[in-house]
Structure 1
């Protein structure tokens, strides 16, 4: 087969003259542009020039494809398409690299538009598997404790005051020379000291918001205070039931040490509560 001539000559032609002839080459079905080997065979050119010519053909084909996709997209959106601008002539690179075809620019995929479907709003009530949010819990009322504490306060107060009278506690004048007429019954120090410390230590223990040493000390001292308070009530009622006007020495000794013990335990617990080491 005789190679086609361009401008009536068989001498090597420039790329600008070979490009229109390459566009007019018949192509088999399914091919958008000829292969490099075919360009070399048809135009009697070398591999570098054939690669450059093929790169130009691919660039033209990519631009045409992109323009066609853009028209299709606009037509799908119902837009009025303007007239296609004239295609700019493709000029070769003045200093092409041999055997390196230019990469084709990425083509945008056509966007298919479909009519919007109504979206069903899904609420928590329409989904049976949705767990029901927990209702805010109400804190338990504390006023019944006052009713419980009133009779206990009367019994404990009278028991400690009575035991204090049997163990030497009684009327004293705490301000001699200052207010000689001012007097107080020292027996009230027993219920105030022992029972108040027991309630406070019980609160610190059950709160759980203190360091571990304070928690342990509050636990055992609270249990000990409640036990001492119970023993004091038992001792008072036994002595009164037996008709004893004066408690034995060992009971008097134990009761006399209670205010000092309560002071020491209260100071120790206050120190442990504030210690975070």
Structure 2
């Protein structure tokens, strides 16, 4: 390390520059302004002038000044109030005639040999087999819900009396459409990872609840059908009758949580 210049009189900047260059060569990087102030016992103005002389391009220096060997690639350290050295550095260009090869930062190097393999690794898995798996499940779930709905009072209704008297619809289809569609939607929201935390938690528990209700509905229908029951008990009828309302409420709540701002989501 360099020895500080100690004298009773103010030392000119020109006399401090050689010692500062030796200090930079010992450190392997340009010292900060605070380091120059403490090393040479000088004020901020002189330290700033010395630092400017150290960081100026090599060809701007006086002809009689000889740069240190390690000075061709000195790192310019940003002066920070809370730290003596900074981790961010900018490399100085080499002196003319030295013919130094350009330096490439490690974090910008690209491994061209492994690039095709990386692209191959991130290729998404095809999901079309899910459609084949869903077809038999859709048939079984649809028939089970419609059958349970008919046992609990759902059936053919005229939704538009006085407008289209001949138009009828079986209200039992509202059960598979509502419950199973919401379960699939909530499951997608839960696993997407692109929604607020509150929406993800709600989607998780409501999806599991909807799937559980769907399984219980299928079990109830097949047990009643196997026993030859033509009218479901009042307990099952009560639960099934409440499902459309429950699905509507959960769907509206989940939609609100998905589009809510972070403050609103935290408040919920």
Instruction: Give the TM-score category using the shorter length.
Output: 0.5 to 0.7
1:135 aligns with 2:118: yes
Instruction: Name 2:175's counterpart in structure 1.
Output: 190
Larger radius of gyration: 1
Instruction: Tell me the distance in 2 between the aligned counterparts of 1:178 and 1:107.
Output: 100
- CA RMSD, aligned part only? 2.7
Alignment match, 1:269: 254
- Partner of residue 224, structure 1: 209
Give the alignment of 1:233-248 within 5 angstroms: 233-248=218-233
Moved over 6 A (4+): none
Residue in 2 that maps onto 1:251: 236
User: Structure 1's 152 and 106: CA in aligned 2 closer, same or farther, altered over 3 A?
Assistant: same
Q: Structure 1 residues 105 and 245, CA, compared in 2 at 3 Å: closer, same or farther?
A: closer
Query: Could you tell me how far 1:132 is from its partner in structure 2?
Result: 3.5
User: Following the alignment from structure 1 to structure 2, what is the Cα–Cα distance between the partners of residues 249 and 261?
Assistant: 18
Distance in 2, Cα, partners of 1:105 & 1:255: 94
Scaled by the length of structure 1, the TM-score of the pair is 0.54
- What is the CA–CA distance in structure 2 between the aligned matches of 1:248 and 1:276, rounded to whole Å? 44
CA distance in 2, matches of 1:189, 1:245: 20
CA deviation digits over 1:84-140, x for unaligned, max 9? xxxxxxxxxxxxxxxxxxxx973899xxx9xx9xxxxxxxxxxxx997443313211
Q: Displacement of 1:276 after TM fit?
A: 2.2
Instruction: Give 3-state SS (helix, strand or coil) of 2:217's partner.
Output: helix
Unmatched segments (≥5 aa) in structure 2:
1-61, 68-96, 100-110, 263-268
TM-score of the two chains, using structure 2 as the length reference: 0.55
Question: What's the counterpart of residue 148 of structure 1?
Answer: 133
Q: 1:175 aligns with which of 160, 163, 184?
A: 160
Give the Å deviation of 1:215.
0.5
In structure 2, relative to structure 1, the CA distance for the partners of 1:213 and 1:178 (3 Å cut) is: same
Q: Secondary structure at the match of 1:135?
A: helix
**Structure 1 position 202, deviation (Å):** 0.1
* Structure with the larger helix share: 2
Q: Does residue 202 of the first structure (1) align with residue 187 of the second (2)? A: yes
